[in-house]
């Protein structure tokens, strides 16, 4: 009976999030953004639409499961729901959902008329996937949280170190997914389909980098908040710093989704209709 209130609360949160995301469909603006061009052929648009739909579904399910787990853990052991804990578990779930989406395969049509099979890997060189400085900054933040945790553990406080280790483990999921994106075999495709494949990989790499940065920022925020404050001024500074990093983590997670131009956001866009074929890029 002690688990009934947490389950009810978790159920309400799940229903709310599902209701908020039920009508969210891939729009023409989303497709134009990931394609990098305003004119997208129907077959290529179908690939982008299926990819974005799959990612949103996998990430939403992962985020819901992670959020529910955070609520249950907080109420079961601490008898309270911590926003930072719920967000942390939700981010971890989103990363696991991203890994699931990247390792999942869309159905590939069989080769016909002597064409190369889409299950045959292409040996053509791939364009590099630029992750910029986002991953470097994320790794630096995680290293800083580990250092803070080690210092706190030396003083007899192990909570910051546990937070840092947990955040590093979650970020490792993002790094693993990045590796999957970079090393996944690319089948023998037409030049147009190869371009679509590269655009999808580039988006996945950037999105995962922002998610990893969000996890790292949230880890630092939690590590700082878990350090016992020795004076009221230090406690105030600690709280303000943690809140600022918490807001920054929200912003970073938002950056992981398609960022459409304001002209597209302000102008209603039609949902992209399903096409008949996709060229087999994904």
Please write the tens of the pLDDT for every residue from 206-219: 888 888 898 899 89
Percentage of the chain beyond pLDDT 70 is: 70
What average pLDDT does the segment 182-196 reach? 70
What residue has token string 């399903």? 274
> What mean pLDDT is predicted for residues 125-150?
83
Average pLDDT, stretch 114-124?
Answer: 48
Q: What tens digit of pLDDT does each residue of 55-65 get? A: 888 888 888 88
Would the pTM count as exceeding 0.75? no
Q: Exposed, middle or buried by CB within 10 Å (0-12, 13-18, 19+), for 9?
A: middle
Q: Which residue has the tokens 């209603």?
A: 268
pLDDT given for residue 185 in this prediction: 65
> What pLDDT band is residue 14 in, cutting at 50, 70 and 90?
low
Closest by CA to 119, choosing from 42, 58, 184, is: 184
Tokens 């052991």 map to which residue? Answer: 77
Q: What is the mean pLDDT of residues 47-53?
A: 87
What does the alpha-carbon distance between residue 236 and residue 240 come to, in Å, rounded to a whole number?
6
* Residue-level pLDDT at 264: 42
């Amino acid at each position: 009976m002690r688990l009934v209130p947490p389950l009810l609360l978790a159920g309400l949160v799940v229903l709310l999030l599902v209701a908020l995301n039920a009508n969210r469909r891939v729009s023409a603006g989303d497709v134009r953004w990931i394609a990098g061009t305003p004119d997208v052929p129907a077959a290529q648009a179908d690939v982008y639409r299926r990819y974005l739909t799959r990612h949103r579904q996998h990430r939403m399910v992962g985020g819901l499961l992670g959020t529910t787990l955070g609520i249950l853990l907080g109420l079961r052991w601490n008898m309270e729901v911590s926003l930072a804990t719920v967000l942390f578990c939700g981010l971890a779930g989103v990363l696991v959902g991203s890994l699931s989406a990247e390792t999942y395969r869309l159905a590939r049509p069989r080769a016909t008329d002597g064409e190369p099979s889409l299950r045959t890997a292409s040996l053509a060189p791939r364009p590099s996937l630029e992750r910029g400085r986002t991953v470097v900054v994320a790794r630096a933040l995680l290293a800083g949280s580990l250092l803070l945790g080690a210092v706190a553990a030396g003083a007899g406080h192990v909570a910051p170190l546990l937070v840092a280790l947990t955040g590093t483990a979650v970020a490792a999921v993002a790094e693993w997914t990045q590796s999957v994106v970079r090393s996944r075999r690319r089948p023998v495709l037409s030049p147009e389909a190869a371009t679509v494949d590269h655009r999808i990989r580039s988006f996945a790499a950037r999105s995962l980098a922002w998610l990893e940065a969000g996890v790292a920022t949230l880890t630092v925020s939690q590590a700082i908040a878990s350090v016992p404050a020795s004076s009221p001024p230090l406690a105030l500074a600690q709280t303000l710093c943690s809140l600022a990093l918490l807001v920054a983590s929200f912003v970073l997670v938002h950056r992981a989704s398609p960022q459409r131009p304001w002209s597209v956001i302000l102008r209603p866009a039609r949902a992209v209709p399903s096409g008949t074929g996709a060229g087999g890029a994904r």
